[in-house]
Structure 1
C-alpha cells in the first residue's frame, strides 16, 4: 500500500489542507474560510475525501510549529499538521 502525506496549516487567513505530490507543481488542496477554530477530524476526513484520499489505516495527525519567517522566532507561529493518506481505492491517487 503506497501512502502519501497530507498537511494542514493556517496562514492567519484560512486553514489549508493539501496532499504532497513530489515532482508535481500542483497539489490537491482544500481550504476552510476561517482562522479561529481548527477543523475537526470529521471535517478533515471529509476534505480529504473530496480530494480523493482517505487517512491511512492506523495513521494519526501529528502537529509541529514553525515561525512565519523561518528561523525567526519573533514572528507569528505557524501550526502545521501532517498525516499519512492513501487514495480512496486503497492506493495512491
Structure 2
C-alpha cells in the first residue's frame, strides 16, 4: 500500500515563518509548526525536523518550490509574500 501524500507549505505570518500540512476534505485543524522568527529563513534541515515533529516526512526526491504571491490580491503595489511547498507523507501512526 502506498502512503498518502500531502502538500506541506511554509510562509511568513505575523512576522514569523510557519510550516503547515494541508489537509483537504476535513474540518480538522491543519498540523502547524511555528519557527518564532522572520530571519533567517528556516533551513532545509529545520524544515525536515519540523515536519517530523508534526508526524510527516518529505516524499523521497521531493524538492521545495518557492512561489511569489501578493499580500493583497490584485494589488501590484502590495508587499510580496513567499510561499514554499513540498510533498510529504505521514509517518507511521501520524494520520490515517
Q: TM-score, normalised by structure 2?
A: 0.88
- Check whether the contact 1:86–1:92 (CA below 8 A) recurs between aligned residues: no
Q: TM-score, normalised by structure 1?
A: 0.91
Is residue 4 of structure 2 the alignment partner of residue 6 of structure 1?
no
Is residue 53 of structure 2 the alignment partner of residue 44 of structure 1?
no
Partner of residue 22, structure 1: 24
Q: Aligned pairs, how many?
A: 92
Matches of 2:16 and 2:43, distance apart in 1 = 14
In the TM superposition, what is the alpha-carbon distance from 1:24 to its structure 2 partner?
2.4
Q: Report the RMSD for the aligned CA atoms in angstroms.
A: 1.6
Matches of 1:60 and 1:22, distance apart in 2 = 21
Unaligned residue ranges in structure 2 (runs of 5+): none
Deviations 1:2-53 (A, max 9, x none): 2100000013510010000002231000011111211000100010000000
Unaligned residue ranges in structure 1 (runs of 5+): none
Query: Runs (4+) of structure 1 moved beyond 3 Å?
Result: none
Matched residue SS, 1:46: helix
Matched residue SS, 2:75: coil
- Check whether the contact 1:59–1:84 (CA below 8 A) recurs between aligned residues: yes
